[in-house]
Chain A
Amino acid sequence: MKEKIRLVDDSGIRTDGRKPDELRPIKLEAGVLSNADGSAYIEQGKNKILAAVYGPREVHPRHLALPDRALLRCRYHMAPFSVQERKSPAPSRREIELSKVIRESLEPAIFLERFPRTAIDLFIEVLQADGGTRVAGITAASLALADAGIPMKDMVAACAAGKADGYILLDLNDLEDKEGEADVPVAYMPSLNRVGLLQMDGQLTPEEFEKAFNLAIEGCKRIYALQKEALKAKYLAIKEAVEEAEQK
């Protein structure tokens, strides 16, 4: 029997030096791929994830087209080299489920009825995984949708909370996710106060759940601010480039 790893020390500090309610460092960038209609890149801890949006565009195969709204298709995929032991590139059952719940978290944010008989294709590629890839993927995907200029009711920010060593923690890293007691990923639209993704595994009392859930929402609100900043940064860069060209 191997010894149990301490995930939170006596002063409440986690293995990566964070406090229980602290997010990992996040880097968010919009418009990183030239071929896609919209794209985004996120680094959250050691997570490195790309999201790209193609569309609204023609639906293939045609029979899938919806007469009253756009069809949102989503693929969440992990690169074979993104984890310790090589992952087969074929979609796993986990990836199939996550693609579904991610799509369902973003569908309510998009004005799909504005683009009947079209498809919006969304691709999330996890280049390196470090716990919480589905929520980081949603954060990036939502930014990519906005970057594509697709009209949205709100940006979707996502974050997980959970429990490890008896503490309720925000934004679990890989170790806390694997060795911890519970994980609660949440996707949230802050301006609308609506939850688009909620899952849980592990064991929590209803009281602990409520605490973790509220903490995750708090995390989503902080990430929401970073998303807006990243979107603005892209246009600021364009503005500066134009001004520079004019001066020459």
Chain B
Amino acid sequence: MTNVTISRIRQKQIAQLLSSGKRLDGRGLLDYRPIQIETGIIEKAEGSARACLGKTEVVVGVKIEIGEPFSDRPDEGVLTTNAEFVPLASPEFEAGPPTEDSVELARVVDRGIRESKAIDLKKLCIIPGKKVFIVFIDIYVLNHDGNLIDASALAALAALTNTKIFKYEVKDGEVKIKPGFKDLPLINYPVAITLADIDGNLIVDPWLDEEEIMNARLTISFDKDGKICAMQKGGSGTLSPQQIIEAIKIAKEKSEELRGLVVKKNG
């Protein structure tokens, strides 16, 4: 994925602008690109949303199925997250088995949702040890212009706020689906904020060109109470301990801003 070639002169331009507090696309160092969120875009999915960060576009579909719980958690529903780098999204994406990057993306988004206990999995148990609801979160990248993690986490959260699970009744140990739906028991709202380091400058929401020349990135997920629930450093560079502490302060503020966009929309 790191093969989008950027000319030296452009690399230099981006870095020079940053050192004077500006970015190539006119943003401030700590500004997000315009964010658009739209929910309920796929009628056949139990939950869905599209999130756009500038030109980056991600669709998340949530499907609900009935299946077996994990043996070590017999009374909890199951959450699984998967990410597809759809070939139409970037010249760098190819059809085929999941890549290292798509596995990382799915796992980072999953970690934010799981560790913040966003979904009350206990309420998704139907018959303990036998039948539970399985929540499939499928991340579909439609246009890659950088910062897929934040866009995907935002789309996933928006899709979950919009997810309905079907009503059911248990008769003689059999699960029967009844007409009608109720809301997914969503009790937390995790938001991921990604910062990148370019030449010692921390920026928020790197777009593709910035990702290509960044030294390293750091994603921090915050839950609704301002607690950190997941972190992931990425990229083949390093960060200083001071930068990491600084990044957390910036990310905490930004997370409230982004959460407001999803939660407000859905009441």
Contact = CB atoms under 8 A, between A and B. Distances in A.
B103 A93 contact: yes
Given A108-B237, A192-B238, A203 B107 contact: no
A61 interface: no
A245 B239 CA distance: 48
B213 to A, nearest CB: 15
A203 B116 contact: yes
A198 B220 CA distance: 10
Among A100, A192, A197, max chain B CB count under 10 A is at: A100
Interface in B234-248: 234-241, 244-245, 248
Interface string A88-109: 0000011011011101100110
A184 B234 CA distance: 15
Report the contact-size class of chain B (Cβ under 8 Å from the partner).
35 or more
Given A101-B233, A203-B229, A194 B107 contact: no
**Which applies to chain B's interface (DSSP): helix, strand, loop or mixed?**
mixed
Contact of A195 (B111, B232, B238, B249): B238
A199 B114 CA distance: 15
B238 A189 contact: yes
Contacts of B104: 96-97, 100-101
Given A195-B241, A195-B244, A210-B245, A104 B227 contact: no
B235 A97 contact: no
Given A206-B249, A209-B248, A100 B100 contact: yes
B248 A194 contact: no
B218 A198 contact: yes
9 contacts: A93-B98, A99-B100, A198-B218, A198-B244, A203-B223, A203-B229, A206-B228, A206-B252, A213-B245
The 7 A-B residue pairs with the shortest CB-CB distance, nearest first, are A194-B238, A200-B231, A198-B233, A107-B236, A96-B103, A100-B100, A108-B238
Interface of B: 98, 100-101, 103-104, 106-107, 111, 114-116, 216, 218, 223, 226-241, 244-245, 248-249, 252
Given A199-B231, A200-B232, 4 more contacts: A96-B103, A199-B232, A202-B115, A210-B245
